[in-house]
Structure 1
């Protein structure tokens, strides 16, 4: 019991310091009267950020394009319709048809988030999917399964997928005849979304797209700003081997969990890649881990340098924004949104506004 008390006290003392690795408890000696132990961790490395006064980066927010709104409105229209089996017994999909599909997308043989769905309704020609996807579905017959090859655009928001080739396995379940909802049925459907008219939803769509473009502009500016800091001659970042090793191992475990979740074992995965686990860590994970840790250290130092804090007023405004955007009750938002996540968003936005 005494050991437990002393251990907790040591942990509390250590956590007051700026540490970069998880504490390790090492027992040096044990006797009938005492236990000699050491609680060890690696201190957060001190970095030197060079003179940033010469950094000039253009902050650009792309305009909302009509075709982007049109694509989203097409999806909206699908939700304000009901489908019935086609009276014409259409068996081949063509441009303009609304179809129901199952699809599973993979990049380098691995599933990715958002790349799988069953019973998905899609209007061919709506350009809701990556270029080339819908045109390859055209001509498919009901019940047919087909592999479709596409390439994610260079400016794709999820950077891990940008410029990557993906293969989607698509099954055409049905070709549907769509009937627009009218009268009370339409009003009830709109009400379930929290809106009174289709026009309100269109305005909401435009705002969501505009907000997304601001977020993309913020992220792009931040990445370029951090890269510019790292490129400065007088910026000095030295990463202790323990920190880098822990980051590589943490990333490796995340990838391993993802691979296992997809039903593949690591042995087969590395065989497919043509390298060992150690080679994968060294050749694939090391460089990205160095970049990720360096970026994090610079970010933390900038937050400290600018003395950025999240106030109670900031939290309230963040919760109110989320509640308004999601048409939710603010108390429900507080229950669902992790406080640390809200704080991260607040600090990030404040930093962007200060450096741009």
Structure 2
């Protein structure tokens, strides 16, 4: 076998591989000799079938098997011998001329094919001890725990029908029909809808106009949908709602005691506080980790500047761009609405894709040198988490991961990445800093991101084209579009993305 490098341009490589016809024929003859004692052909005793006859009957099919095996296995062996790693699956090209292919299968011509690929650039790891990060820590107070318990207890709050007018905090049961320009719109109708006045579930101005209504009242209220409302046909429009009040109920008092804990499935108030405190600490801990991780990735990005394989960058960019355009379509917005242009957005997201790929390669190299491994137990837990997200589809999910090449990598990659970050945290300089909740959840633009872990999406340079990982739904929970309140997608910094 002869291997000739025909292209070495940047990270791009192309090899020409030639296997002489005589070598192909020798391989075929080995297969025929092995098959001689196994095949059963009428007119011949077992093991006495002439090789020439076998070649006439099975030669071309065996050669076809050999060709398939060579193009499947040989490129990997060749790259290994060259000390190279391909960024993606190498592209194999061979003759498409039927006559030439027939000659190869008859061992009358050399078998030639080309292997085109991009190499993963060599990465010389640098000392990570110079990386410094600030770990922001929030101390959870007793008042905060109690406040959260009161919010949780709202789900267990009871209401009793009352006579008289509805006040702030009362629950009203209403039928409503929404109209724009006198015409009812989709999703603007509901019956027996329960709404706690002051809960801010509906669009601004809706709930306030229910203060003072009584059971049996009929009323028309007028509101204006927010300009950033996700349903484009309603955004910024004035609407009326025909309201029929069916019931007004006053809230029961919430007391923080063991009885409350029991209604929530816990044995005591102390246990409830313990659980709630743990949840708050976990929430803060996740936000803290994301900020620490962001700092590490930012500094790694500065430390490692090299050309990233273009095919990996292209694939990453397409994933991002597809999500961005989906979000824009769902929000009814354009790039101009977000104070940018498609060209500028493409440029910014392309940079993000390059950053992700480059950091992904760096983290992979760091993890490999540190012998970071993902255990089978960790993979099983990740798979179980996937199954929980799709109840009733467990079989389909399992079949997907069993039968789809590379699917398991989507489970392994985030686990591996987090373990590499853990490894780096043991090497970098970490300084703890006590901060407030607002400081922890504020990004560099001053926007709070409470309850939102850092995700793998970015914003255009001027403003978010759409927050790619926070799609705005048209309704909350019950599929009703009209009076539900929704926030505009927020922007997220381009470099807030994790590396893959």
Q: Above 0.5 in TM-score?
A: yes
- 1:115-154 residue pairs with structure 2 within 5 A? 124=198, 139-141=208-210, 145-147=223-225
Identify which of 242, 248, 263 aligns with 2:317. 248
Shift of 1:138: 6.6
Shift of 1:84: 5.2
Identify which of 83, 88, 105 aligns with 1:21. 88
Task: Compare 2-11 and 76-85 and name the one that shifted more.
Answer: 2-11
Question: Hey, what's the Cα distance between the residues in 1 that align with 2:158 and 2:293?
Answer: 44
Shift of 1:188: 7.6
Query: Are residue 354 (structure 1) and residue 456 (structure 2) matched?
Result: no
The match for 1:302 is 366
Counterpart of 1:309 in 2: which secondary structure?
coil
The match for 2:355 is 291
Q: Answer yes or no: is the 8 Å Cα contact 1:84–1:177 preserved in 2.
A: yes
- 1:210-229 residue pairs with structure 2 within 5 A? 210-229=281-300
Cα 1:314–1:300 change in 2 (3 A) is: same
Cα 1:22–1:306 change in 2 (3 A) is: same
Give 5+ residue unaligned stretches, structure 2: 1-63, 105-110, 177-192, 212-220, 229-235, 386-397, 399-407, 431-500
Q: Answer yes or no: is the 8 Å Cα contact 1:20–1:43 preserved in 2.
A: yes
Identify which of 30, 50, 53 aligns with 2:129. 53
Shift of 1:63: 1.5
Shift of 1:21: 3.5
Query: Are residue 343 (structure 1) and residue 424 (structure 2) matched?
Result: no
Cα 1:170–1:205 change in 2 (3 A) is: farther
Identify which of 271, 278, 285 aligns with 1:207. 278
Aligned CA RMSD, in angstroms, stands at 5.2
Task: Compare 299-308 and 78-87 and name the one that shifted more.
Answer: 78-87
Query: Are residue 280 (structure 1) and residue 345 (structure 2) matched?
Result: yes
Q: Answer yes or no: is the 8 Å Cα contact 1:47–1:236 preserved in 2.
A: no
The match for 2:150 is 74
The match for 2:264 is 190
Cα 1:51–1:220 change in 2 (3 A) is: same
Cα 1:296–1:78 change in 2 (3 A) is: same
Q: Deviations over 1:276-314 (max 9, x none)?
A: 6454312x3122223322332332222223222234576
Task: Compare 247-256 and 197-206 and name the one that shifted more.
Answer: 197-206
Q: TM-score, normalised by structure 2?
A: 0.45
- 1:249-268 residue pairs with structure 2 within 5 A? 249-260=318-329, 262=330
Shift of 1:77: 0.9
Larger Rg belongs to = 2
Q: Deviations over 1:205-249 (max 9, x none)?
A: 2101111222222221221122223334xx442223333233222
Q: Deviations over 1:39-85 (max 9, x none)?
A: 54423333344443333323232222455434432321112123455
The match for 1:177 is 250
Shift of 1:342: 7.6
Shift of 1:179: 3.4
Shift of 1:198: 4.5
Q: Answer yes or no: is the 8 Å Cα contact 1:148–1:170 preserved in 2.
A: no
Number of aligned positions between the proteins = 292
Give 5+ residue unaligned stretches, structure 1: 103-118, 151-166, 323-334
Cα 1:36–1:72 change in 2 (3 A) is: farther
Counterpart of 1:60 in 2: which secondary structure?
strand
Q: Answer yes or no: is the 8 Å Cα contact 2:317–2:350 preserved in 1.
A: yes
Question: Hey, what's the Cα distance between the residues in 1 that align with 2:115 and 2:172?
Answer: 61
Cα 1:77–1:170 change in 2 (3 A) is: farther
Counterpart of 2:250 in 1: which secondary structure?
strand
Counterpart of 2:252 in 1: which secondary structure?
strand
Q: Deviations over 1:144-203 (max 9, x none)?
A: 6554689xxxxxxxxxxxxxxxx9x99999975333699xx9788533xxx334442332
Shift of 1:27: 4.7
Q: Answer yes or no: is the 8 Å Cα contact 2:261–2:269 preserved in 1.
A: no
